[in-house]
A and B are shown apart, each in its own frame.
Chain A
Amino acid sequence: MPTDWNELLEYTPPEYKEMYQRTLRANQVLTTDADPEVAPTPKELIWTRNKTKLYRYISESPKKHKIPLLLVYALINKPYILDLTKGGSLVEYLVNRGFEVYLLEWGQPGYEDRNMKLDDYIMDYIPRAVRKVLRKSNVDEVSILGYCMGGTITAAFAALHPELPIRNLIFMTSPFDFEKTGSYGAMLDERYFNIDKVVDTLGVIPPEMIDFGNKMINPMGTNYGPYISLYERADNEKFIKSFKLLQKWLNDGIQFPGEAYRQWIRDFYQQNKLIKGEMVIRGKKVNLENIRANVLNLSGKNDLIAQPHQVEALMNAISSEDKEYKCLPVGHTSITFGSQATKITYPTIADWLEERSN
């Protein structure tokens, strides 16, 4: 009689043995494996204000393009999704292609930041960061790339600051039209979602609440799907690496300042003010027609968070002569990380930017 568990496995059919080994590895990944290292590209800190930090990526390869690129991230989760791992990093790719890359990171807002509004980000933080980039790079113009909500606030910023020398604007899965948002619209329906009560009670919105909202769009798929894939592919170390990186990022949320959240939900999702030209930021109307920079607007065909029609809506609202809209065969996260991102997104951005950065 076998006395050892592994010895017992020798007597089981191969498919059950495989199943057992996959289960074992999946359990290790979920319980004992160390968190993966993220944000590998070296960077230097250029400027800070409150929790916000402006970084400049350091490169050993020579700078080939005159105009620097500033990455503006969203107020949800952390920006290291743009620099997740070696060989799977948009930042690393752009730096290797000879761009001077900066990143504006909002940090982790605390309870003391509950009164911060989008106005503060759009009128104080982004303009200051742009001026810092111009000064540091000693140039007269800058390119900006906004990801997700970062793109939406970048558009508002660009419309309100025609005096700043923005040559190129890249929007990556940034929603602009909030008329038909599917489950989000239903979830944030004014009749049932009392935004004032949420903000007044919580002060700052916990990341778990934002995450829950995102997962409710496709609850079974997002809550259980990744774990089933993990179990099925636990014998594939490459898959495990990607799984761990993405899970780390997905579960590494930050608090959303209450007043900014109130604006984001009410003005954008509930009243769709931006695309209608009714948005007011610090007493000034946001007119997207003021955007004259070259624009590359990217959406993801499988994106449920910023659906393609929400992204494309910007194209008719701006005055740019050089503007291009592309719908890539990716999702909201896979536009920045994964094999499709490496093959499609990174070269699309770099090629477009290369032609307009000297």
Chain B
Amino acid sequence: MNQSFNFYDMWKDYYSQTSKLFDEKISKDFPSEGMGQILEMNLQFKKMIDESTLKYLEFMNVPSRNDIANISSLIVNVDAKVDDLEEKLEEKLDSQDVQESFKTELAHLKKDMKSLDTKLNQILTMLKSQEKVK
């Protein structure tokens, strides 16, 4: 018996060659038309099933996927509105922060001006008193 014979290796060789050929063939001449026809057929079938299911559910007073999705859409819309509001609030808080820091800066400026004014008054008083002495 030949020890080097391996059925798997033989199959693997055959598989590698045929699969490579198959993949090359597909990439060169893609069966677009055939696939399009299969897709069309499947879509037709799906549409038929969907329509009959919808009629049945309506007849049985059972909510359909559309009804549930419509409710979900309402929730999604509310969620979006809340998110928009949150962003507006964040922007407002940001501008408020800017305003707050502006206010603080203005208060500091006022205080500085006031102390400058006081110092100027003191200088003027001193100058005047010196003039009187002369």
A237 to B111, CA, bound (A): 74
CB of B46 closer than 8 Å to a CB of A: yes
Residues of B in contact (CB 8 Å), total 37
Q: Which one of B20, B35, B76 contacts A50 once the chains associate, using CB atoms below 8 Å? A: B76
Question: Are A110 and B72 in contact, with the CB atoms below 8 A?
Answer: yes
Per-residue interface assignment for chain B, residues 1 to 26, with 1 indicating a CB less than 8 Å from any chain A CB and 0 otherwise = 00100101000100100111011001
A254 to B8, CA, bound (A): 37
Chain B nearest CB: distance from A215 CB in Å?
11
Residues A228 and B15 in contact in the complex (CB < 8 Å), given A112-B69, A197-B43, A198-B39: yes
Per-residue interface assignment for chain B, residues 22 to 62, with 1 indicating a CB less than 8 Å from any chain A CB and 0 otherwise = 11001100101101110110010011001000000000000
A121 to B26, CA, bound (A): 34
Q: Which one of A49, A182, A193, A225 contacts B83 once the chains associate, using CB atoms below 8 Å? A: A49
CB of B105 closer than 8 Å to a CB of A: no
A49 to B87, CA, bound (A): 12
Question: Are B80 and A50 in contact, with the CB atoms below 8 A?
Answer: yes
A186 to B31, CA, bound (A): 8
Question: Are A219 and B12 in contact, with the CB atoms below 8 A?
Answer: no
Chain B nearest CB: distance from A233 CB in Å?
13
Chain A nearest CB: distance from B72 CB in Å?
4
Question: Are B27 and A187 in contact, with the CB atoms below 8 A?
Answer: no
CB of B70 closer than 8 Å to a CB of A: yes
A225 to B16, CA, bound (A): 9
Chain A residues with CB under 8 A of B87: 128, 131
CB of A277 closer than 8 Å to a CB of B: no
Chain B residues with CB under 8 A of A110: 69, 72
Chain B nearest CB: distance from A121 CB in Å?
13
Chain A residues with CB under 8 A of B3: 13
A186 to B79, CA, bound (A): 40
Chain A residue at minimum C-beta to C-beta distance from B50: A201
Residues A192 and B35 in contact in the complex (CB < 8 Å), given A183-B27, A221-B23: yes
A19 to B114, CA, bound (A): 94
Q: Which one of B15, B19, B26, B73 contacts A216 once the chains associate, using CB atoms below 8 Å? A: B26
Pick the most buried of B33, B39, B70: most chain A CB atoms within 10 A of its CB.
Answer: B39
Question: Are B43 and A219 in contact, with the CB atoms below 8 A?
Answer: no
Chain B nearest CB: distance from A247 CB in Å?
19
Question: Are A221 and B19 in contact, with the CB atoms below 8 A?
Answer: yes
Chain B nearest CB: distance from A327 CB in Å?
20
24 contacts between A and B (CB under 8 A): A13-B3, A19-B8, A50-B79, A110-B72, A111-B65, A111-B72, A112-B70, A112-B72, A114-B69, A186-B30, A187-B32, A187-B35, A192-B35, A192-B36, A193-B39, A194-B39, A202-B46, A216-B26, A217-B27, A219-B22, A219-B23, A221-B23, A224-B19, A228-B12
Q: Which 6 residue pairs spanning A and B have beta carbons closest together?
A: A192-B36, A220-B19, A186-B30, A112-B72, A112-B69, A111-B69
Give the A-binding residues of B (Cβ under 8 A): 3, 6, 8, 12, 15, 18-20, 22-23, 26-27, 30, 32-33, 35-37, 39-40, 43, 46-47, 50, 65-66, 68-70, 72-73, 76, 79-80, 83, 87, 90
Give the B-binding residues of A (Cβ under 8 A): 13, 15, 19, 49-50, 110-114, 124, 128, 131, 135, 182-183, 186-187, 189, 191-194, 197-198, 201-202, 216-221, 224-225, 228
